[in-house]
Amino acid sequence: MRPAVVDEICDAILSRRRFLLTSHARPDGDSIGSQLAMAYALDALGREVRIVNADPAPDHYREFPGLDRIEIGPHSDADADALIVMECSDLSRTGVTGLDRHFIINIDHHAGNKMYGAVNWFDESAAACSEMVFDVIRALGVPLTREIATHIYLAILTDTGSFHHSNITPRTFDICRQAVEAGVNPAAMARRVFDSNSFGKLKLIGALLDSMELIDDGRLAVLQMDDSMLQLCGCTHNDTEGVINLPLTAREIQAVVFFKIGANGEVRVSMRSKYDVDVRMVASGYGGGGHKNAAGFTVNGRLDDVRPEIVARLVAAIQQGLVTRPGRKDEGRSSKFEG
């Protein structure tokens, strides 16, 4: 049984002709995949579709179908009968102005969604927003083409941290099964998304891991980077994508925080964690958000002033996460498999 709101979304779509799609600034695989899957589905229904994003997609997404359809800019004056916002807990996450005058359909899986649309579907249990987009597309009766399936799968592959996060359910695999039946090649997708690094990025990974700090008996890893490190390795900010997941491959490490200091002094903070260690709670304390195992925020002010407090909150989150997982306290020190 699908939620009634899915039918409301279908009615809202079927009774309209011109659509504007958007998602969050600094797009990731879920924002790209959700938007383009929706765009191809609306094409199939003969609708007019425009897509606007504040920032371009990271390089390794550019060869996926339809990326050239995304218009990049801080403002939109597009005329549309409806705006479909995917992956955004509030409208300001888009980083695009001029959107609030539209009839808004809000589809999202981030805790704390502000329900800013005329129609709102918020489902925190979805492993990726594209799981929800998939349900809408199927409810619309649109066949699962290879393009649509590719974007649905891309979003799930990346938003689950390559099937590592704790938000994966049977629904996730059921959707992936259908995507593979529709022609998606999981091996090729994994290679394209995760094995497309430049040599510069490998150097950057080396430099970041070399300077990584370990805290709380190695349960917390801290990565820090500024523009001079990027320049030294011949990289751009886009090359940092995915690097944060590497420390989690060490058995002891339960959480990672990555401080990225921009040229203008702005500090972006990304966090990742395992199992029940809740980094979203830490992010929301600083005006950010995300999910239990992947969250982020922007520091207002000097990093040095807030860094000790952020680290302390992460150590507390790790302790809390391990408390709710008795038997995990000695993660990395025991050879017993507790799956």
Tell me how far, at minimum, the Cβ of 128 lies from Mn ion, in Å.
5
Q: Residue 296: name its binding partner from ligand 5GP, Mn ion, none (Cβ under 5 to 8 Å by kind).
A: ligand 5GP
Cβ–Cβ under 8 Å, residues 254 and 290 = no
CB neighbour class for 314 (10 Å; exposed up to 12, middle 13-18, buried from 19): buried
What is the binding site for ligand 5GP (CB under 6 A)?
24, 28, 89, 93, 270, 288-291, 294-298
Choice between 76 and 293, CB closer to ligand 5GP: 293
Which residue's CB comes closest to ligand 5GP? 290
Q: Does an H or E element contain 18, and which?
A: strand 18-22
What is the binding site for Mn ion (CB under 5 A)?
30, 129, 159
Angle at which helices 29-44 and 146-159 pack, to 10 degrees? 160
Tell me how far, at minimum, the Cβ of 257 lies from ligand 5GP, in Å.
10
CB neighbour class for 78 (10 Å; exposed up to 12, middle 13-18, buried from 19): middle
Q: How many CA atoms lie within 13 A of 7 on its CB side?
A: 4
Q: Residue 216: name its binding partner from ligand 5GP, Mn ion, none (Cβ under 5 to 8 Å by kind).
A: none
Tell me how far, at minimum, the Cβ of 148 lies from ligand 5GP, in Å.
22
Tell me how far, at minimum, the Cβ of 2 lies from ligand 5GP, in Å.
24
Cβ–Cβ under 8 Å, residues 251 and 337 = no
Choice between 142 and 225, CB closer to ligand 5GP: 225
The radius of gyration of the chain from alpha carbons, rounded to an integer in Å, stands at 20
Q: How far apart are CA 306 and CA 329, in angstroms?
A: 28
Tell me how far, at minimum, the Cβ of 93 lies from ligand 5GP, in Å.
6
Choice between 93 and 102, CB closer to ligand 5GP: 93
Choice between 145 and 172, CB closer to ligand 5GP: 172
